[in-house]
A = this chain, B = another copy of it.
Amino acid sequence: MSEFNNVTIVKKANVYFGGNVSSRTIRFADGSSKTLGFMLPGEYTFNTADPELMEILDGELDVLLPGAEWQSVKGGESFNVPANSAFTMKVKTPSDYCCSFLK
Contacts and interface: CB of A to CB of B under 8 A. Distances in A.
Interface of A: 1-13, 15, 18-20, 22, 24, 26, 36, 38, 40, 57-58, 94, 96, 98
A4 B11 contact: yes
A4 B12 contact: no
B22 A9 contact: no
Contacts of A11: 1-4, 36, 57, 98
Secondary structure at the A interface, as helix, strand, loop or mixed, is: strand
Contacts of A94: 15, 18-19, 22
Given A3-B9, A3-B11, A38-B38, A22 B24 contact: no
A101 to B, nearest CB: 16
Nearest to A1: B11
Nearest to A4: B9
Contacts of A20: 40
